[in-house]
Amino acid sequence: METPSPSRTVTGRIDVHPRGFGFLVVQPSGSDEVLSAFIPPPELNPYLADDVVSATVTASEDGRWSASGLSLLKRPRQEVYGEAVLRKGAVHLRIDRDVANGDWPLETAGVEVQPQDAVVARVADGKAWLLRKLEPGTDRSLERIIVRHGLRRDFDPDVHAEVQRLLTVPHALGGRRDLRQVPTVTVDAPSTRVIDDAISVLPAGGDGALRLFVSIADPAEFVTEGSALDRVARERATSVYLAGAMLPMLPEALSTNWLSLVPGEDRLCLTVELRIDPEGRVTAADVYESLIRSWAKLSYTEVADYLDKGEVSEPMATVREAMPWFRAAAARLAVARAGRGGIEMSRDEARFTFDEETGEVSGIEAVRPTTAHAMVERFMVAANEAIAGWLIDRGVPALFRVQDEPEPQRVADLAAFAQHSGFGAGFGRRLTPLALAAFDRQIAGCTAEPALRSVLRRSLGPSRYTVVPAMHFGLAARAYLHFTSPIRRYADLSVHRALKQYLRGRRDFVHEDPAIEQLGVHLNERSRTAGRAEKDRHRVLEARVMASHVGSEFTGRITRVRPSGLLVQLDGMLVEANLPADALPGGPYQPDPRETSLVSASRTFTIGMPLQVRVASTDEQHGRVELALAG
C-alpha cells in the first residue's frame, strides 16, 4: 500500500468492541493490507457492527488512524438482541455490546416490557422495534449469538407446506441400482440424528482388489432448485452446531427422518463405488443413483472396539463378515495417504457435557478421535476425492474445496512455534505435503499436540469453495470437494445436482461456470459466519464452566501473541484463555513484528512456551476467561 495522506474519505465496515469503542475497517481494492481506524464512542453510538459507512480518516503523528464524520451507506443487520433498560423514564434497548455501543429507544407496540427483559428487535429510523420478548428460562447467551450472527431457528410456513407435500410423495425407485442386499452400515455418535452417509464393502477378488461403496443420502431428488426449500437451504448454507443446540439447514422432518439413512428403511442415495488395489490405490470409481437399506447403525465406540480388540457388538452381528474388509480398506487407503503426505483431519476436540435434568452445561472434556473416526474419515475423503476427479474428467463444473500452500512466513512461524515447544520442524523455506505429514507424525500423542495442532491449522490457512479446481494442501489432494453431507451443507447438495444432471444426460455445461463461482462466494461467507457463531458459543460455555475454577492452577502453552497479551491453551481441557500483557511482570510489553513473541526489557514470552497459570476471572457475557501467571 502506498504511504497514506494524513486525511482522506474512505468507505469501510464498522467493527464494534464490547468495551465501548470501535474501528472502521478498510481494505483498499487490490490490496492485501487493511487500514483500521479508531472510532470514539460518541461517533459510534448510532451505528451497528457490520454497517458500511463513509468516513473521514486521519493519521496521527504516531501512524494511528482515527475516523470521524461517519455516514451510513448500507446496514446488513436487520435484527438485534438486547435487554430493556430505563433511561429518563423511557424504555431503551441495551443492544448486545458486540453489535452496538449505545442504548436505542425501544418501541414496544403495546407489549409490556420490564427492565432486564430480553428481547429481539428490528432496527430502523434510529429506533429498535420490538419483534418478540424472550420467555423466562430462555438461554439468553444462545439467543444473543443466534441473533448476532443472523442465524435462524425456524422455517417459514411456505417451507413447512412444501415439506408436507414431499412427505406424501412416494420414492421413485426406477432406474437405480439396488444395493439393499449388500451389507451396509452407518457409523456415527449415538446421539446423531442426521445420518447422510453409509458404507458397504465387497471382499477382495482374485486380483486382490476390494470394492468400497460410499452411499450418500439424495436430497437433490426432492429439494428442487428454486423451490422454497432450496431458497432457505441456500441462504443458510450449512447446519450450525451450537453446543446444546443445532440449527438445521433443512427442516428436521426431512433431515432426521425422511432423508436420513436410518436402519431398516429403503433410502435413495448417490453411491460412489471405489476399486482399491492391495497397495491402496483407487484404480476405478463408478458413480450412480442407488437404492440402499442400512443393516445397522453402529457407534464409533462399537467400531473402535472391533478394530482395536476384535469385539463384535450385537448390532454388528448382521454385518460381521464385512467388518474385516472395512478394516482392510481403511488400512489400504491409509498407506496411500501416507505416501503422498498431508495430515489426518480428525483431531482432539473439547466437548461440553450437559446435565440430563436441567440441560445446563456441567463440564468440558477433551475427546480424542478413535480408530473408527480415522476409518470413516479415510472413506469420506476418498469418496470426495474420487467425485472431484470424476467431475473434472468429464468437464462438469462444480464447487471444489481448495486450500493453498502456506506462505513462507507462515511456515517460518510454525517452525519457530515447534522449536519453542521442544520439536524440530526443519521445514526449510517451503512446506511440502510430505514434510507436513512427517511433522504430523512427530507431534502425534504428545502433551502439546492440541496446542501444536491449533497453531498448525492457523498456519495452513482456511479452505474455500471455488469453481476452479486446484490442490487441497492439507490433504495433499490434487482435487477435492464436499460430497458426503448434502443434508447438512449446501455445497454438497450442489455437487449432487451436478452429478445427477450428468448421469441423466446433460452435456451443455459451462466451463468454470460464473454462477457456481458466485455461489461459492456466498457459501464461503456463510461458512465463516457459522464458524464465528460456533466459536462464540464455545467461548461463552467455556467461561460458564471455568467460573467454578477461578483460583485453580493449570499448565498451558502459548498459542498466540497479541498486542493486548497472550492466548494460552490449557492442557487437558483445551480451553484457550487470555493472559493480559498488563498482568505480566517486567512490563511494559510489545509484540515483535510477526507477533510471535511478547517482549519487554527483561523478559520474552514466545508462542509454544509452556506456562503455569491461574484462572483469575471469567466473563460469560463476552465469552472471556482471564488468566494470571501462577505464583
593: CB partners within 8 A, 6+ apart: none
453 contacts: CB under 8 Å, gap ≥ 6: 347, 348, 443
Rounded Cα–Cα distance for residues 231 and 234 (Å): 5
Set of cell numbers at residue 628? 494470571
Q: What 3-state class would DSSP assign to 309?
A: helix
The sign of the torsion formed by the CA atoms of 122, 127, 129, 135 equals positive
Pairing of strands 35-39, 52-59: unpaired
Query: 21-30, 123-132, 232-241, 569-578 — which one is most confidently predicted on average?
Result: 232-241
Q: What is the model's pLDDT at position 449?
A: 83
Q: What are phi and psi of 532, to 5 degrees?
A: -65, -40
Q: Is the pLDDT of residue 5 over 60?
A: no
200 and 319 Cβ atoms separated by less than 8 Å: no
Task: State the pLDDT at residue 1.
Answer: 43
At 525, the amino acid letter reads E
Predicted TM-score (pTM) of this structure? 0.92
3-state secondary structure of 582: helix
Specify the range with the lowest mean pLDDT, choosing from 217-221, 241-245, 398-402. Answer: 241-245
pLDDT digits (tens, 9 = 90+) for 255-287: 998 899 999 999 999 999 999 999 999 999 999
**pLDDT bracket for residue 32 (50, 70, 90):** low
Q: Is the pLDDT of residue 190 over 50?
A: yes
Phi, psi (5° rounding) for residue 33? -85, 150
H helix intervals, 506-606: 514-546
Residues 442-467 have pLDDT tens digits of: 988 888 888 888 888 888 989 999 99
Backbone angles phi, psi at 219, to 5 degrees: -65, -20
Return mean pLDDT, the chain.
92
* Per-residue pLDDT at 19: 81
Answer whether residue 627 shows pLDDT above 60: yes
Place of cell 452445561: 361
Q: Please give the pLDDT value at position 62.
A: 74
DSSP, residue by residue, 383-436? HHHHHHHHHHHTT----EEEBPPPPHHHHHHHHHHHHHTT------SS--HHHH
Distance from chain centroid for Cα 415: 25
How many whole angstroms separate alpha carbon 156 and alpha carbon 161?
Answer: 9
Whether 40 contacts 21, CB under 8 Å: yes
pLDDT at residue 355, rounded to an integer: 79
> Over 80: is that where the pLDDT of 626 sits?
yes
Mean pLDDT of the 528-545 span: 95
Task: Tell me the CA distances in angstroms from 593 to 90, 135, 162, 342, one per residue in order.
Answer: 49, 49, 56, 30
CA gap 137, 146 in Å, rounded: 16
The residue count of the chain comes to: 631
Region of 50 (left: φ > 0; alpha: ψ -120 to 50; beta: rest) is left
Residues of 284-303 as b/e, b for ≥16 C-beta within 10 angstroms? Answer: ebebebbbbbbbbbbbbebb
Could you tell me where the DSSP H helices lie in 52-209?
A: 140-148, 157-167
Cα–Cα separations (whole angstroms), residue 193 to 178, 263, 269, 522: 25, 12, 17, 27
The answer to whether 11 and 73 have CB atoms below 8 angstroms apart is: yes
Beta-carbon contacts of 506 under 8 Å, excluding residues fewer than 6 positions away, are: none
pLDDT digits (tens, 9 = 90+) for 561-593: 988 899 999 988 889 999 999 989 988 898 888
How does residue 212 score in pLDDT terms, banded at 50, 70 and 90? very high
pLDDT (0 to 100) of residue 36: 87
Whole-angstrom distance, CA of residue 417 vs CA of residue 4: 34
HEC letters along 43-55: HHCCCECCCEEEE
Q: Residue 561 gets which letter from DSSP?
A: E
Class of residue 527 by CB neighbours under 10 A (exposed 0-12, middle 13-18, buried 19+): buried
